[in-house]
Amino acid sequence: MEPKEYDSGQKPAWCAGCGNFMLVHAVRQALAELGKDPDKVVITSGIGCGSKLPHFIKTYGFESLHGRPLTVAMGVKLANRELTVMAISGDGDAYGIGGNHFIHTCRKNPDITYIVQNNSVYGLTKGQYSPTSPKGFVSPTSPDGSVEPPVNPMAWAITTGATYVARAWYMDPQQLKDMIKGAIEHHGFSLVDVLMPCLTFNKVYGIDWYKERVYKLYGHDPNDRVAAMEKAMEMDKLPTGLFYQEKRDVYGDELPKLNGPLYRQDVTRIDLTKAMKPLR
């Protein structure tokens, strides 16, 4: 298949130069290279600039509540494990409002790919500081500078149980597509944290700021959890690539009743008499 076959025809209203343009193309490319049938792919999202992304990809999509793309993705996957399920949201959606869902989804390890557009600010709501904003970040909700240190999504994902943990830089389209493709192919919960500037509202982390810090992992063993944590804890530089990957039991696989889509289940063998009795 070709990437253009995943183009819904809808036009994004993102600011000129927004990293989401690169991301939407990378997702289409990854799906095309994997030959995914658009009818068998579901992309859920939360609320935010990047959470509009399902509108622009010709698969099934579900724009949910703020911070809740993973809950919907989990429901979809458990209802029909034959589907390729992806969730997309921004750093505020993923690591703030949906932070609790994020760590418990890592722990459960369902077969879902999670892509987070990490620009360290809430863009759609006009520039409030987010969980990945640096300490001291001046914004409408922190006029004297934020007093909280930022979260470390990579360390969070590795320690709470995600089984594919990658970071990509939006200006490296090959790497971005490869990390997303690897995440979709991985059987288990995958995080691809995508670094990109918000040109409109984040004047601290601009393109040059990233360019001085971003580098590609080289000679790193993604099966080595300790080495992955060392890379995750690097703060002065920003390594990109596949930090960590492991094979582990996947949530849903060990639930025999969910073997196959729910619509194909034989409901005649289920006796609801006992459950219905108190309701009569």
- Tokens (6 digits) for 94: 């993923």
Q: How far is the CB of 237 from ligand SF4 (least distance, A)?
A: 24
CA proximity to 186, closest of 258, 112, 254: 112
Q: Specify the DSSP element, H or E, that contains 155.
A: helix 153-160
* Residue with smaller CB distance to ligand SF4, 48 or 188: 48
Residue 21 CB, nearest approach to ligand SF4 (Å): 9
The Cα 192–Cα 217 span in angstroms is 15
Applying CB under 6 A, the residues found at the interface with ligand SF4 are 14-15, 18, 20, 49, 119, 123-124, 198-201
Please, which residue, 8 or 128, has the CB nearer to ligand SF4? 128
Residue 5 C-beta-side C-alpha neighbours within 13 Å: 13
Cβ atoms of 26 and 180 closer than 8 Å:
yes
Q: CB nearer to ligand SF4: give 20 or 240.
A: 20
Q: How far is the CB of 126 from ligand SF4 (least distance, A)?
A: 8
**DSSP letter (8 states) at residue 40:** G
The residue to which tokens 């193309």 are assigned: 25
Shortest distance in whole angstroms from residue 13 CB to ligand SF4: 8
Nearer to ligand SF4, 84 or 119 (CB): 119
- Report in angstroms how near the CB of residue 164 gets to ligand SF4 at its nearest: 25
First CA to last CA across the chain, in angstroms? 54
Instruction: Considering the complex, state which of residue 90 and residue 182 has its C-beta at the smaller distance from ligand SF4.
Output: 90
